Each structure stands twice: as structure tokens, then as C-alpha cells.
Structure 1
Amino acid sequence: MRRPLAAALLAAALAAAPGARAAADSGAPAPRTPEGASAVLDGLKTYGQAVLHAKDGSVRQIPAGLYEMRVDGGGMLQTYGVGVTGNAQPQARYAESGWGGSPLDGNGEAGRIRWVLEHSYPQLNDLAGLAKAAGAGALTAESAAAGTQVAIWRLADGAQVEAADPAAQKLADYLQRSAGKLPEPPASLGLDPGSVSGPVGSRLGPVTVRTGAQSVTVTPDAAAAAMGVRVVDAEGKPVTTAANGSTLYFEVPAGTPDGSASVTVQGSTRVPVGRVFTSEVPSQAQIVAGSSQSALAATASAVWPQPVVVEGAAATGDGSAVTQASAAAAAAAAAASESSPDDERLATSGSSAATPVIASLAVGLVVLGGLVVLLLRKRPLDEEDRP
């Protein structure tokens, strides 16, 4: 009875493999890795007043203007609010984000908002020239900030809002009317992709550095260094500094136990105008209007499974069953990474939230194959002596 039982167990495991992988692939996406700058909101610093006509018919006066943020590690940002109802709170923590991870995701006016930022205060400090272009008479820093914020609210929210100051109102109308479209700005510092995977005994990557900084430092985590995992370039040379476009690989020595590692890159540059900063409250998102030299950091990770070999499979009468399990395991592991175009056939990125699940499934299938072998080799002696 053991031969049919073993075969049934193996068949059930093989049948479950596609479903398990599908479940992993359909799960929630992996969290985004940190990139760029993180900051704390100081508060509203340069502002005037605006009048908001709410959808419920109410009318109220609200402050409108420039916020300031303190960047962790050094640096300052000037920002405008994205949402008119945000009411951003001082001392709230923020992290740099692309448009896709912010309330501007899918907003067709996002490129026009960036145009407004690039063509108004504080990017344009010539208030007399800005007032002349807008036909606004005279502008102060406060009225220029208020007019710019009103234009952003109209584009971001479709809000019915006017500046209280006539000059600020003329500026808001001019900016909204004149705004062209600009592309999304790049991250101040990012690693692409944020995670890679592959087998031991290879280089996992590449991970590409994207930054406006002239140079960034490259630091593997201590646990990786303790395991002998190195961060290297395409030629296998250790990397301690990098620039925009540099590629990084995790070199995992053969025999390294199952595990993971990370690398952090750090540098300093200005955060591009138009980058968004988000907090735990989406409606309180901020968009960068100006930046000093600021501290930046980004992190990428790697994960690797240990190859598993079942010994003695060929010596049993059911080697084909174990071979099927091993083949299924190999296929599952292969699905976690793709072939690299690199001439050295380096392991490529497989940035998927399903990778750990697939690797565990592969190991489980091979272990199950070994169990089948043991069941078949340990049949009772009287069964073998039966004529």
C-alpha cells in the first residue's frame, strides 16, 4: 500500500505547486524600499489667505502658502500642499515618493503642477518680473506663495478656491492658464530594482544607482559581510562608492546558507522640484518647490535559496518520482529569476514578493521526494519474501 500512498502524496504536492505560486503572485505587492530623503514638517512659513468654496456649499478662509521641512541628516525643503483639505500638521514625518505613490497617481494635471512650481515663487525670486508676467501689479513673498498654492490646489484637486489678495489671485489665474506639462522628476537617490534574488555561488543583480549626487557611498549590511557576501561591480570588484548609472551586484559565495542581505547608498544633493513627500495621511502630501543640499539614502536587498540535492534517488525503484519532484522544484526556483543578458551569465533581478514562497515550495517538494524514497525502501521483509 505504500507505493500508491507515496505516489498520491507526490502527485498532490505537484498539483498544488501551480496554485501555490499563483497565490503568491496574486498577493499584495512588496513594500517599497526607502529612497531619497526623509524629513519632518516644520510648518507653514510664508503664506497669505485663500477662500475655499467646499462641495457642501460652505465657504471658509484658509491659509495658503509655503511650508518648510527639515531633512533627516541635514538640509531644508520648501513645499506646497497637494490637497486643499490636507491641513498638514507640524512635526509629522515624511518620506520622498514618486507621483505613483502619492495622491498625484493617475492625475493628468501632475505635469502642469510641476510647470507651475518651476515658473513661480520661490524658483522665480524676481517678484517684480513675476508680477509683470501675471499682470498682478505688485507681489510680496506672501502673496506670491498664496497665488502659487491656489493654482496647485486647482490643478491637483479641481478645487474651487481663490486667493484673498487681488495680486495673488491674478498670479493664480495666470499660472493655471499658462501651465504646460513637464515630466515627472527623478528620485534624488534611488536603487532600481529595490530587490533581487538568485542562487548561491553567483552574482545577484544588477541594481542600478539613480541619483543627482556626484557620488554616493555604498555600504553592505554587517550580516552580509559576516557571511562573506560582497557588493561588487560587473567585473567582480568590490564597490565602496558609486555614481548615477553605476550597477551593483551581490556576490554570494558557494555554500552560503539560505539568507538575505541589503546594501545602503548615501549621498547629498538637492531634491528635484516636483518630487512628492508623503506621510501616514495621504491628504497631507507635500510637493517640493525648493531644496537646499540635503542628505539622501536608498536601500536594496537580495535573497538567495540554497540548492537541495536528494542523494540515492537513482538507486531506488522510484527514481522517476523523485526526479519529477526535483524538476518541479527546479522549475519553481527558476521562476524566481530570469535569464540575464550579461555575457557572464550572471543571475538577474527577480524583484517579486513571491520569491520567498517559491523558494520554500521548491525545498518542500524535494524533501517530499526524499520521503517517498524512504517509504519505498523500508517495505516489510515479509512483503519482499512473499512468492
Structure 2
Amino acid sequence: MALLAAALAAAPGARAAADSGPAAPRSPEGASAVLDGLKTYGQAVLRSGDGSVRQIPAGLYEMRVDGGGMLQTYGVGVTGNAQPQARYTESGWSRSPLAGNREAGRIRWVLEHSYPQLNDLADLAKAAGAGALTAESAAAGTQVAIWRLADGVNVEATDPAAEKLADYLQRAAGQLPEPSASLGLDPGDVSGAVGTRLGPVTVRTGARSVSVIPDAAAVAMGVRVVDAEGQPLTTAVNGSRLYFEVPAGTPDGTASVTVQGATKVPVGRVFTGELPMQAQIVAGSSESAAAATAMAVWPQPPATGVGTTEGAASGTTEDAGAGSTVEAMGTQSAAVPTPSPDEERLATSGSSAATPVIASLAVGLVVLGGLVVLLLRKRPQDEEDEA
């Protein structure tokens, strides 16, 4: 585990936020590495469609994994021109130059059945009818076969034994499925309501055990990473199921969990850099550091308030069953009179059924007021006549 110290410290973890908003970008699944360069190689000749001929190196690269470990890789694209010290991250085929390539499974077959997976060069040469193979010619022949399958290019190894190996691998290659990530979480994003357990998130890895690390902000809010029984998790194995336990009353937000461990990166996993054409595919791996992160998002449940009001009106209590509440709601609904079509029309126009009555009362009041004024004016005059 000491080998992993640097990787564990540097692995990107997701953050939790007290306020709602878009989740932080997920970190790559698996390993990250730096390309050391081409280490074991021969030469090949590339013939382009325009008639040009170019001699290029063909062979095996080495990569240093962040936090410890080494990878042996071949280039995926013949025009990659991979640069030493370039940074790479582990990737699935769908996010690499192999996306949609029907020959991707055959490329993995080549990797599994050639150098360096097969170190007995005499047996490999015998199977290919290649005479004698060196590490350099075996690497060159394997790279040429991969280029042909990945790019469909016209390329040949300059060494006759390497060329025979390339021909043999291309003819014999069968289809193999895409390998799983060295360390991954499935799914990478979960969501749910506050006060519940969000998940599950399943660990996928070849590692014997991995560390489970919730982000600090989530811990500060009381969010825990637990198993199906609600027990906190600090370690996990392949197939373990993780859940985010979000306490009731937690503000809307996000949290993450990062799993970290050491395992061999499966043969056939792709590493991509900033330029897709420089992708590398794994041919061999030592025990290497890997990490993966999953995110959780939770909103507060909507506050309706309808159930409480109706329950109080119908005499329901907190101890009342669901059937009682539904029955009370049904009774209330039945007690509300259904408006007539005329009333609905009046409501739509801004009037009501009482409008004619109000108008009549207003006219009556005006007439009554006029009579009162006339009576008051007439009374003084009558009094003078009597005098």
C-alpha cells in the first residue's frame, strides 16, 4: 500500500455542496499514467494512398502509472506519433479511437496471443511460421498487426520474421469482448430524495480490496457511505454495493465517494491523451494504482401541505391509516357542489350569478335617496303654511 501513497493523495475527489447545482466533473475510472516512450521496437514501412512511402518505428511503449506501477502498451493509430511525457488516462473503447471499430475485439485477441503476453518467443515463432523472433521483431510484428486492424492501413514490418508474425496475427485473430476497467463504479451517478439511501453503486475491480473514501464536505453534512444494512464502509471488494445515506433535513446538494486500490490493468484497456490519435492500448501491466469516483445528488422532497390540511378538516390524526385519509379526502370532494355551466361561464367572464341582484339593489337605493331629499325639502314649506 505504500506504493499507492502518492496516487491516493493526488487522486481527484468529488466535492459536496450545500446548495444545489450541477455536479462536479467525474474523475476518470482506473489508472492515470505518463508515457515514457518507445522501448522495444523494430521498423515498418507505411505506404500511403498518394504513393508516398515512409519508414516508421513499430513496437512496444512503456508508461509510468501515477502512484506506482508500469504499463506496456502499443499505439492504436499508425499516425499517432506519441510524445514521451504526455499524460494519459484509462478509458473505455467508446471514448477512444476504437469507438465503433468492428475490429476492436480482434485487436484484444492479438494482444492476448502475442508478445509480451506470450514470452516464449520460440513457441510464438513456431505458431506464426516466422523462423526466429527477437523481442524487437515480436514487438514490431504485433504493432503492425494492430495498426492494420485499427486503421486498415498498408503497413509492413521490415524484418521478415516480424512481417510473418503480423500476417499470422491478422489472419488468426478472433473476437474478444471489451475488458472492464481496472477500477470502476457502476453507475457513476445516483440521485434521490433527502432522508433516504441513494444507490446502490457497485464496485468493479480486479483488486483484492479497495479503500472507500467519502469527500470531506459530505462527511461534514452528516452524509455517510454505507452498505445495504446501513453499516459504514471503509473498504470494499469487487461486487460490493455502496449507498449514500443522506440524513433528513440535509440541504439540497451533492456528495462523492472515491474508491482507491492497486490492481493490474486488463490487457486491451485503452489510454487516451489530449490528442485522440495518440491513444495507447495495454499489452501488459504490473500492479498499478487506480481510482474511481461516483457522485450523488439529492433534492428536498416537495412540500405539498395538501395532506395535512385535508387530514385536519376530516378529523384524521398522525396515527390514522392511509385508508382513512383517502376516505376523508373522498368525503370532502363529494361535499363540494359542482358549478353549473352558467356559473362557469360567468366566472370565466369575471361576473357571477349575483350580478343582476346587486344591480337592482343599486337602482332601488338611488330612487329611495331621491324620495328622501324631496320629503325633506317639502317639510319646511308645509310648516310655514300652517303658521
Equivalent position to 2:39, from 35, 45, 58 = 45
1:64 aligns to 2:58 (yes or no): yes
1:267 and 2:244 correspond: no
Return the offset for 1:313. Answer: 11
Residue 289 of structure 1: aligned partner: 283
Read off the aligned partner of 1:215 and give its amino acid letter. Answer: S
1:94 equivalenced with 2:88 (yes/no): yes
State the alpha-carbon separation in 1 of the partners of residues 259 and 204 from structure 2. Answer: 10
Mapped partners of 1:160, 1:32: distance in 2: 39
Name the residue aligned to 2:301: 307
- Offset of 1:100 from its aligned partner? 1.0
Q: CA deviation at 1:133?
A: 1.1
- Radius of gyration: which is bigger? 2
Relative distance call for 1:87 and 1:246 in structure 2 (3 A) is same
Structure 1 unaligned blocks of 5 or more: 1-28, 316-386
- The offset of 1:312, in angstroms, is 9.2
User: How many aligned positions are there?
Assistant: 288
Given that 2:26 and 2:293 are in contact with CA atoms closer than 8 Å, whether structure 1 keeps it comes out as no
1:271-324 per-position Cα deviation (integer Å, ceiling 9, x unaligned): 000000011111110000000000010000101112342669999xxxxxxxxx
Per the normalisation by structure 2, the TM-score is 0.72
Q: Percent identity over the alignment? A: 84
C-alpha contact 1:197 1:205 (8 A) present in aligned 2:
yes
Residue aligning to 1:160: 154
Query: Which residue of structure 1 aligns with residue 368 of structure 2?
Result: none
For 2:120, which of 101, 117, 126 is the aligned residue?
126
- Is the contact made by 1:51 and 1:164 (CA closer than 8 Å) also made in structure 2? yes
Tell me how far apart the structure 1 counterparts of residues 306 and 100 of structure 2 sit (CA, whole Å). Answer: 57
Distance 1:142 1:173 in 2: 16
DSSP 3-state at the match of 1:60: strand
- Match for 2:136: what amino acid? E
Structure 1 residue 32, shift from structure 2 partner: 5.7
Structure 1 residue 75 corresponds to structure 2 residue 69? yes
- What is the one-letter code of the residue matched to 1:309? A
Deviations 1:55-105 (A, max 9, x none): 232110000000000000000000000000001111111111111111111
Query: For the aligned residues, what is the CA RMSD?
Result: 1.8
Does structure 1 residue 149 correspond to structure 2 residue 149? no
Moved over 4 A (4+): 29-33, 310-315
CA contact (8 A) 1:268 1:295 kept: yes
**Inter-partner Cα distance in structure 1 for 2:153 and 2:144:** 9
Instruction: Map Cα deviations across residues 29-57 of structure 1 (whole Å, 9 max, x no partner).
Output: 99664211010001101000000011232
1:128 Cα deviation (Å)?
1.1
CA contact (8 A) 1:33 1:194 kept: no
Alignment check: 8 A CA contact 2:30 2:291 kept: yes
- Tell me which amino acid in the other structure corresponds to 2:170: Q
Matched, 1:219 2:213: yes
Among 240, 244, 249, the residue aligned to 2:234? 240
Q: Which amino acid counterpart does residue 279 of structure 2 have in structure 1?
A: A
1:152 aligned counterpart, secondary structure: helix
Which residue does 1:276 correspond to in 2? Answer: 270
State the secondary structure of the residue aligned to 2:178.
coil
